[in-house]
Amino acid sequence: MLNKKLMVVALAGMLPIGAMAANDNIGTCGWGAKLFDGQRGVAPQVLAVTTNGTSGNQTFAISSGTSGCTQDGVVKSSWKTAMFIDGNKPKLARDMSTGSGETLESLAKLIGVKDQDKTAFFRATKENFARIFASDNATTDQVVASLKQVLAANSQLAQYAQSI
């Protein structure tokens, strides 16, 4: 009986958190946001916030700029791009170095590069390969940041920097 009462109190205590999450997008970064991405309603928001809170990962993510969080107060939704790059880094590096390939094509699609801009995108990644992959052991965050800078500096491709 005591366990049921504790459960009710715990769930009731989460309702304000769920309301805050809806208003302030608290659950939009960290592991909870990734686990419940695309789901709508109070329950997924509460679960995302609870996941972040119980594991303590959102605080770390905000302070370190990982898991879709930033230190500048702007919530990013670029974790899908980062996960793609992280899972395909060697193939993506090869494709960027030549300016063509299936993995580079997939990245272009993921960030929404329009057909008329793909040639410029492929050329920009090839010409800036050494900047995007500054070292053999470049981290995913470094690759993402460099790619974003390369695109932002190109007037034709700047619009896509926001999608990364």
DSSP H helices, the chain, are: 2-24, 31-35, 42-55, 57-64, 79-87, 89-98, 102-110, 118-127, 129-132, 140-152, 158-161
What is the tens place of the pLDDT at every residue in 9-59?
A: 444 444 443 333 333 444 566 776 767 676 776 676 667 767 766 666 666
Q: Please indicate, yes or no, whether residues 59 and 94 belong to a single structural domain of this protein.
A: no
Q: Is residue 108 part of a domain?
A: yes
Q: Please indicate, yes or no, whether residues 86 and 118 belong to a single structural domain of this protein.
A: yes
Q: Evaluate whether 126 touches 96 at the Cβ level (below 8 Å).
A: yes
Q: Please indicate, yes or no, whether residues 93 and 156 belong to a single structural domain of this protein.
A: yes
Q: Please indicate, yes or no, whether residues 92 and 157 belong to a single structural domain of this protein.
A: yes
pLDDT at 3: 52
By C-alpha distance, which of 146, 132, 149, 135 is closest to 95?
132
Q: Please indicate, yes or no, whether residues 52 and 91 belong to a single structural domain of this protein.
A: no
Rounded Cα distance between 23 and 98, Å, is 45
Q: Please indicate, yes or no, whether residues 48 and 12 belong to a single structural domain of this protein.
A: yes
Give, as one character, the DSSP assignment of residue 134: -
Q: Is residue 95 part of a domain?
A: yes
How many separate domains does the chain show? 2
What is the tens place of the pLDDT at every residue in 56-83?
A: 666 666 666 666 665 555 444 467 888 8
Q: Please indicate, yes or no, whether residues 34 and 102 belong to a single structural domain of this protein.
A: no
Q: What is the pLDDT of the chain when averaged over all its residues?
A: 76
Q: Please indicate, yes or no, whether residues 108 and 40 belong to a single structural domain of this protein.
A: no
Residue-number span of the structural domain to which 128 is assigned: 79-161
Please provide the distance, in angstroms rounded to a whole number, between the alpha carbons at the two ends of the chain: 50
